[in-house]
Each structure stands twice: as structure tokens, then as C-alpha cells.
Structure 1
Amino acid sequence: MRLVTYRSNTEAEARLGVLDGDLVVDAQRLGAQAGFPLPSRMLDLIDLGPAALAVLGTALADTRGRWQAGVAVPAGNVKLLAPIPRPRKNIFGIGLNYVEHVAESARTLDTSKELPKQPVIFSKPPTTVVGPGDAIEHNARITRQLDWEVELAVIIGRTARRVTEADALSCVFGYSVMIDMSARDCRRASQWIFSKGQDTYAPFGPCIVTADEIADPHSLDLWLTVNGEVKQKSNTRHMLFKVPALIADISAGITLEPGDIIATGTPDGVGAGRDPQEWVWPGDVIEAGVDGIGRLRHSVVAV
């Protein structure tokens, strides 16, 4: 299933929906029609576990084409938000997780040219998250080097503490797209959180595709353009540390909980790695996508 968080108008509450063709089907209202209690928020659905997801799928299949008024609305008539508009805790970011990106970063960002022996982990606060179409803020008082990174996002579905790589994928609820915006000139003593953690620096969406629909998360094309020009184009098979290794490594010391998000790193092609270096500015438009999941489109605006 392709799960979304949406708002029917600017005054309405954020609600959990399912993309079904060109319709958004409201999960809670669908459950009421089908006689199954279902939640109205993404995090509540994730918390309820696989049984709730199975109920949602059954209700969708049993009522498709016979929805009562208000259950399904055209997707073009709603505003999609980030699938999890406000994560409960920081996003786990993974740095230097594609071989070519390690090389370009070593040339221009003073990072090591050696491949990491363990995942490089940083974090992005919940306030970085914005949904499809929302503006990316450019604060020229803080940065003159705003950069882009397209990433596959992994959403955790059950508590994972000291899990093995063999069991790690069973902890995944689904996958999404994230753009890891980075103010390259805001790194502080080699620490990245201020560089990557500023408001609006984690465009996220447009949906979560449940794990059962992604047979292999390591065979997905991902790409990013700026003003229509391709800047990044690669495939998740080139990850240095694959999704099971990331989950096992993080959970060795930090408990992963339902709804937690891992942004799995970016391929080469970032602005800092180009000669001459390139940055985004107010008026630029960034688009990014992951095969089988969807795409994001965001304008950069001055603040």
C-alpha cells in the first residue's frame, strides 16, 4: 500500500489515507464503513503493528468502488503532507554511504578518502521535516553553500534493540523519499547537526510504500534535479552499508522504535563535489525521486 498523510483544506486536521489510483481513501472513514476500527494518524497505524495494516488492506479490497461519501476523494483535491509530519525523535542520517560520494566528499569537504569501516551517523531534528511542495528555506545570513542530497528513507515498524542483520528487514514498516539539505558552511568542528538540522532541511514523502511492496530496497533507482538539470542519478545497490547493516548497527546501542526514520545516505553528484562547486539559491526548484515510491518537488525561498 501507498500510505499518505493529507489535509482536505487548510483548516482541516491531518489525516491518514491510502493512495488508490488517483484517489486518496481516508483510513479511519474506510474502517468505519467496513466495520473495522482504524486510526486517523500514520504513527498510530505503525504503533498498532502488522495486524492493523492487514485490516486496512482487507477493508480497502472489500469496499473498493463502493465507498460511501467522504471516504475517497480525488488526490488532486487534497494537500499531501509529510507522511509523518512530526517524527517523535530525530531522523537518523547516514553519511558517506555511497562509494563515489566518499570520493567526492574527500576532494571538497575535508572528509577521509578511506571508506568508512562503520556507518557514519548524524541526526536531523523533527523540525527539519516538510511535506511535498513545501518551501525549502534559504537563510543567507547563515549559509551561502546550500546543497542537495536525495536519499531512500526507511521507516521502522517495530521496536528494534540489538537486532541482527538477518532479522533487520522484519523491523521495516516501509520506505519513502527524503532530500537531505545541507548547509556545507555550517559544519562546526566536524559536527554536522547544525549543517543538516536547520528548519525545512528534510523534505519527506510523498508517501510511505509498505515494505511488502518493495521486494528489494537495494535495487531502486534514485535521482535529483535542480531547475530540470540532472545532478544525481544512481541506484541503491551502490550503498556501502545496506539497510540491514544500518538497522543492526544503530540498534546495537540505540533502540529503534516504531515510526523512527533512517535516511540511508546519498550517491555522488552533490553540489559540493562539483568543479566548480554549485549551490542552490532562492528561486531554484529541486525535484527528487526514488523508483517505485514517488517524487518530491520543492522551491527554495529566501527567509
Structure 2
Amino acid sequence: MKASAHILIFSLFISTSLSNPAAANMTRYQTPFEQAIWTFNGDQFSCQIEHKITGFGSMKMEALPGETLRLELTADWLTLNQTQSSIKITPPTWKKSHTALGETQLIWQGNKATSNTSINPFLEALEQGFAWQAIIDGSETASYLVSSSPVNTGQVANQFRLCRHQLLPKPFSYVRSVELFFSPGSSQITMAHETDLDAITQYVKADSSITQVLVDAHADNNGEHLANLVLSKERADEISARLVELGLPKRLIQARHHGAREPKVSNKTQDGRDANRRVMIRLIKRPNKIATKRTAGVEYGS
């Protein structure tokens, strides 16, 4: 290691100890700057930044469709359960700051500690060349100070932001089974329906393992049996046609109409009838098929 790098890391540790006397008795973990690497992986299904901490484990930021950012600290050898650890943003010694830059609480489950609260400032911190620092109370006699190494973090943060803009609107856990509800006697598609139909379409286009899109339309029991059967067919046809208009291949769509024969709940109440006027859209996947090939990881480091 170069002498200048030794002095830099040593000064960072001394600065931390002076600003927080309790940290003087902590075991410290930080990858040497000349060995520090930030890895980016991303596609339409997820975006991820990971940074290995020598001797401890890793720090990771992840973005998933339709969800808030998540921060994760993983230990290679430490296991805790339902324990909180604080993680905060710290400037390097040459960037003095007297204001709070950002902090959140990680919750431990086994060897992983996660948080999805107030994570955006941690991404901004990478863009500014700031570090992440976690304080862990492992036991009454053991505490740990785990710090990231702010080397070339601006590049990986920029890749992560670009990836987030390309994420799908919703994850598979949402679009795999979606119910659309209708007004009495109506088969008209609403703005709320459009939002879900767009999310479904984008997901199917991105995931080559989807083999079928099942559309099952229903009615409540108000009116004649034949009229309800016709109404449910109109609903199935409207939804199917709109999915095709949005770009789904017609061969993937299987539309069925059931009239009032398969109520979800009892039709004896207004709430029940409201719940039964529906179209259910389900996505069928090819077994054991990965959604899509993930882009190769990009590393940024010294």
C-alpha cells in the first residue's frame, strides 16, 4: 500500500474516534482505498450496487419495480436477530460538514440487516463522494464500525439512477394476478384499469418466460342469466383487445367469460356484488425459467 493511502485511512479512523469517543473501542472494518470496488448490476427487473468490506461482508443498495429503495448490510460471520444498527452518511476528512447528512436504522435478520426508510440520501451521498458508516452493537463487549470506501462512487451512482428509470412499473408479485372491477352493467375500461394493463403489458414484453395471459371475466347476479353472460363476454373482449393494442401478441391471450356462475363472494350485499363484477388477469410462466438474462456486472474501483 502506498504511504499516502496508509496516512489517509489512518486519518479517517482517528477523525471518527475523536468525533465519537465510544467508537474508540470498536473493531473497524473498511476496505483499503486502492482495493475498493463498487459493482453495479441492473436490468428491467432490478438495479443493484454492491461494495465488499474486507473482513466483514458487504453493503448493498437495491431498487425493485414499484418499491422504495432498500439498503442492506450483509455479514460473513456475524448473526443477529431483531437487533437495530444505525447507518449514516459521513463525509471524508477533506469535506467538512456540520449538518446531519442522513441516517437510518437497519433491522437484523440472521446475517443480513436491511432498511427501506430514508434511503435516497444514501444514493446522493455516493454521487458526492461520501461514505456509508454502520455502527453495530454485537454484544455487551463487542461493537463494530463498518465503513464503505468512497472511491469512484459517482460513476456507479449514475449507472444506478439510469437503471431505476428503466425499471418495470410493477414486479411479478403484483402483475401475476390482477383484478379489475367494473360499474354495474358496464364494460368500459377506466384510468385505473389502464394503469394496471400497462404494467402487465410491460412485464410480459420483458419476461420471455410468460407463456399465457389468462383473462377471466365475471358479472354479479343482477339481471337475467343470459344478459350477465353477454356482459361478462364484453368485459373479456374489451380487456383482451386493449392488451393487444398495448402490444401483447394475441396468441398469448386466452379470454373466457363466466357470467354470474362463479361469484367471488356472496351477491346478497352491495359490497359482494361490487366484488363480483370483475375481470381477473393471470400470467402463466414456463416452469423454472429465469425472467431474463441479467446484464453483466460493471465494477468501479481504483
* Shared fold, TM over 0.5: no
Q: Which is higher, the Rg of structure 1 or of structure 2?
A: 2
Higher helix share: 2
TM-score by length of 2: 0.24
Bigger relative contact order, structure 1 or 2 (CA pairs below 8 A, ≥6 apart): 1
